[in-house]
Amino acid sequence: MKYQELTDIVKNSDNIVFLGGAGVSTESNIPDFRSENGLYAAKTKYGCSPETLLSRSFFDRNTETFYDYYKNNMLYLDAKPNKAHYALAQLEKMGKLKAVVTQNIDGLHQLAGSKKVYELHGSIHRNYCMKCCKFYSAEDILGMDGVPHCECGGLIKPDVVLYEEGLDDNVWNGAYKAIKNADVLIVGGTSLVVYPAAGLVGIYKGNKLVLINKSVTSYDSMAKIAIHESIGSVLSAVVENII
């Protein structure tokens, strides 16, 4: 029943925006560092939480430990897009999806073919020298021992929004505008507890809010449809029904 209702909503709209979280990437076998396992692993090896390890102050003061954690827990370069990524790219190609707004930093939406992607928290695939601004890929970072430095001697920093850092204004404004003007907002793979990203749901003024998450969220009562299943299975089934 809910699948059919969602299919009908998607069929009748050409202004859909998708807001996604870690649950989209976990279906590509990228662990959620905020999960119980991620929390336990960080505290066992490093003695502090992932939020501390991925903070700007920790990066500045403990750069070597930051990179040890970052390289081993945030860079999954062998990961491939899953059904959710491909379904969203297909919806964009069909002219139905106007934008993807993601909290993930893995670049899998673009790898699947999505063109309009607002990466709220940046991307592991962009790394810059803090001295001369030279660009480095994620592969470059992994290939350097210890703390990565530019050929000019400058420290290289991932273009990832660390805790204590603000979001990029252009990315935030683009995501804000897309969601505010959307006819349909599909939220998937997120429990909607991480701000400011979770606050984007409140910007949506339409009456077709769709939540797809394996667990219940505090926003379920606001949704027109709430489905507690695999986001990849749900979105791929909807696309197949439309085609």
Domain of residue 208, CATH code: 3.40.50.1220
Same domain, 181 and 145: no
Tell me the pLDDT of the chain averaged across its residues.
Answer: 93
Same domain, 148 and 49: no
- Domain boundary residue, one of 160, 184, 219: 160
pLDDT at residue 205 in the model: 92
Same domain, 135 and 191: no
Q: Tell me the C-alpha distance between 88 and 99, whole Å.
A: 9
Same domain, 64 and 150: no
Same domain, 180 and 67: no
Q: What is the value of pTM for the model shown?
A: 0.94
Neighbours of 171 (CB within 10 A): 17
Number of domains in the chain: 3
Same domain, 205 and 222: yes
Same domain, 88 and 142: no
Q: Tell me the C-alpha distance between 123 and 158, whole Å.
A: 8
Same domain, 104 and 224: yes
pLDDT-derived band at 175, boundaries 50, 70, 90: very high
* Residue 146 pLDDT exceeds 70: yes
Same domain, 151 and 235: no
Q: What percent of the chain has pLDDT over 70?
A: 99
- Domain boundary residue, one of 137, 160, 183: 160
Catalytic annotation, residues: 121
Contact assessment for residue 103 and residue 194, using Cβ atoms and an 8 Å cutoff: yes
Same domain, 40 and 21: no
Range of the domain at 58: 36-73
Same domain, 67 and 53: yes
Residues 6 or more apart whose CB falls under 8 angstroms from that of 85 comprise 24, 28, 108, 109, 111, 112, 114
Q: Tell me the C-alpha distance between 171 and 116, whole Å.
A: 11
pLDDT at residue 125 in the model: 97
Same domain, 87 and 64: no
Q: What is the pLDDT of residues 5-33, one digit of tens each?
A: 999 999 999 999 999 999 999 999 998 87
